[in-house]
Structure 1
Amino acid sequence: MKDDPADDMVGEHHEQGVLDSNPEDGDYWQAVPDPSSAEARKGKDIQGIAWERLAITRENYRLARLEEYKNHENVPNSSEEAIKDCKPTEKGGMYYEFKQNIRSIKSTILHYQLRNLVWATSKHDVYFLSNYSIHHWSALSSVDTELMNVEGHVAPTEKHPGSLLEGFSKVQVSTFAVKDNLLVAGGFQGEIICKHLHREGISFCCRTTYDDNAITNAVEIFNASSGAVHFIASSNDSGVRDYDMERFQLCKHFQFEWPVNHTSLSPDRKVAIIVGDDPNCLLIDAKSGEILHSMKGHRDYSFASAWSPDGLTFATGNQDKTCRIWDVRKLSKPVHVLRGNLGAIRSIRFTSDGRFMSMAEPADFVHVFDVKSDYNRKQELDFFGEISGASFSPDTDALFVGVSDRAYGSLLQFGRL
């Protein structure tokens, strides 16, 4: 991925909001109540956009966005080539129903290629990034709580071997993850900050690397076979590092030939998918780091990956606007190639029961595929604004989508039907 922080800040689509000419952007917009699920069922816009007041219809604005949105490519014309591989998918499925749009939440994005900035740990508990802060939102009580602010100086309040006790200042959070009461945030300079949610203060700080190319691109928290809580950090210095949070130590470090943008462990923790600044994706032995297979098919760089709970299939998301589904029993080619509408596939999630897979584009669209239909049917969530992340709740009852936009930024909540 790009490694110049000046270029990596929120890109051209973030500099201005959607519908910037909208006359509602002032006091009127602030006074409009969040649309209810009942109103949405009657046809009201889920973001509260009053199209009847505007000089353009929703349909025409959608067509304009599809035509004008500039998808970032590292390999020129990659999406034009990749479209030849795609299978047709039947739209119109209804699996998740709109519940609410929380405009008091201002989810933000620091790096335009990294969109893992929304995490649901239950159907009531959601975590999101807002500028220099990571917040918790309770969908039950509608309370927004700041958990970690890294705009100033942050340092660990616990003492552990290998922890940087001096801490960090003004961390630019590029990615984070929350699981098992552990929050792990990664930064632009290789910073790792860990907080146990049931403890006061910061538990652990370290720097993955002092390399100039140090952005932490992704974090995944998991339980080792021993039951201990670990996390894997994928780095722009081409490294993948496994940290043991029981002993607060780095226990594995694998190095690859290109920057690693995302890593996903298989459900049995035996193998992992590695994707990054190369069209090929790697399947590696999670214990040794040995490359078991190189999957060929994508035309550009990949930034997302996810395993199905069945442990046999996994998905990779690429800037060629495709998500490819692979089967470990036959890796010579993908079993499905799924197409986005306007941009790269930057976030992929499966429900815990394996029934659905979400595929988020950089803006405007999250596609929810019915895995049982062999990916032939999907629901298309259609809205406006850059997507900071998408996350199913562990019980599969809820899907949360962060929207980063100057005027229409919010958190969208959907419930399983």
Structure 2
Amino acid sequence: MSLYDGELTGVYPEENEDHHAVQMAESDYEDDDSDQPTCKETEDTTAMDVKKGKDIQGISWETMNTTRDRHRQARLQQYANFENIPNSGRTAEKDCTPAKKGQLYYEFQHNTRSVKSTILHFQLRNLVWATTRHDVYLMSYYSVLHWSALTREKQEIIDLQGHVAPCEKHHGNFSEGFSRTQVSALAVKNNLLVTGGFHGEIICKFLDRQGISYCCKSTHDDNGITNSLEIYEKPSGSLHFLASNNDCGVRDFDMEKFQICNNFRFAWPVNHTSLSPDGKLAVMVGDSPDGLLVDANSGKAVHDLRGHLDFSFASSWNPDGRTFATGNQDKTCRVNSLHIRWEVHGDGRTCGFHPHLRCREWIQQETGSGFLW
């Protein structure tokens, strides 16, 4: 993640505001809806409401001098996407297959505006997790919240505005805890919730236990922001998570022993790491047009990932373990096949497609559907 350390060349006004939020104001969280028409914040929208003609977001377009379609088209035309490498998006678009439109992948069910997800930095968006079809965990200002799609109720899991300290004793536990922690990354899986902070803070809570289990600083580097977190299970059944930091390090935490068991170093800040389903390989992307496919146990590079033209912030494996996707500020998602890359095309060929608007900071592949979202 490049903007945290002052590299602001070519930043557009919207991105300048985001950088200012990181440096200056602990309460100035980015609002992606700042240029959107207003709506009634506390009202929800149901599928029945939409069938009756209500806007999905609750926007009263009939009171405005524009329509949803015209507003959307204007935003697509006027939005200036941030680039670390100039003209990367325009160049990448020439070689990519346009994303197909018009298909129905999901049916609208419910839109709630009683729970607000907040993002402190525009490049770091791994702050919402759905652990089941009905359970969502998210950052809302200084709170980690749980929202149930069944009960339509929210519950505060951790209040980070005050003092947070561990209630368990483990070797390396930072017993003093942290205060007013600004969260840049969140992960929830297997009853474990982990937050990562802008100064390398790590806070771990097991959802079936009272209190906080573990706190530590993953790094003391001045540029140690936690860019992403990945919770996974070893073949032995032990629970681990990977913390990707802006100091060019990726740490493997063993949550059975509550300690770092591996510290991998790379040539550039790592923005996102995703582990293959069998746990043997990891995709690592960051402040480089090229990514890496690495051995998850040793951290050694297995293959360079080429094709993108800017910095990457997202990666995701297909559940089949044979393909993975990467998302980049050049506004493309590239799908890599292990079979094609190594056995058919020695040139390391990838196929790419070009979504609309903004860089891809978050992607996920859905089990059994073949869809990428």
Q: CA RMSD in A?
A: 1.9
The count of aligned residue pairs is 351
Cα displacement (A) at 1:35: 2.2
Percent of aligned positions with the same letter in both sequences?
53
1:297 to 284, 302, 307: 307
Give 1:91 shift: 1.2
Listed as ranges, the matches of 1:9-408 within 5 Å are 9=21, 14=31, 17-19=34-36, 22=37, 29-30=40-41, 33-331=43-341, 332-358=347-373
SS at match of 1:220: strand
Are 2:30 and 2:118, in contact at CA under 8 Å, matched by a contact in 1? no
- Work out the CA distance in 2 between the residues paired with 1:128 and 1:309: 24
In the other structure, the counterpart of 2:13 is: none
TM-aligned CA deviation for residue 15 of structure 1: 7.9
Q: Which residue of 2 aligns with 1:414?
A: none
**Corresponding position: 1:3 with 2:31:** no
Q: How much has 1:30 moved relative to structure 2?
A: 5.0
AA matched with 2:351: H
Give the unaligned 5+ runs of structure 2. Answer: 7-17, 23-27, 342-346
| Runs (5+) with no aligned partner, structure 1 | 359-417
Kept in 1, the 8 Å contact 2:245–2:271? The answer is: yes
Give a deviation string over 1:70-119, Cα, whole Å, max 9, x none: 21110011001100111133311112101011110011001110111110
Greater length-normalized contact order (CA 8 Å, ≥ 6 residues apart): 1
Partner of 1:7, secondary structure, is: helix
- Verify the 8 A CA contact 1:315 1:324 in the aligned structure 2: yes
Structure 1 counterpart SS, 2:4: coil
How many Å separate the matches in 2 of 1:159 and 1:70?
Answer: 49
Q: CA deviation at 1:13?
A: 7.3
Q: Which has the higher strand share?
A: 1
Q: Summarize the Cα distance change of 1:104–1:42 in structure 2 as closer, same or farther, 3 Å threshold.
A: same
- Separation in structure 2 between the aligned mates of residue 126 and residue 220 of structure 1, nearest angstrom: 17
Counterpart residue identity of residue 326, structure 2:
T
280-289 or 34-43: bigger deviation:
34-43
**For residues 42 and 277 of structure 1, what CA distance do their matches in structure 2 show?**
47
Residues 308 and 293 (structure 1), Cα distance of their counterparts in 2 relative to 1, 3 Å cut = same
CA pair 99-261 structure 1, distance change in 2 beyond 3 A? same
Consecutive aligned runs of 4 or more in structure 1 exceeding 6 Å deviation: 10-13
TM-score (norm 2): 0.90
TM-score of the two chains, using structure 1 as the length reference:
0.81
Match of 1:391 in 2: none
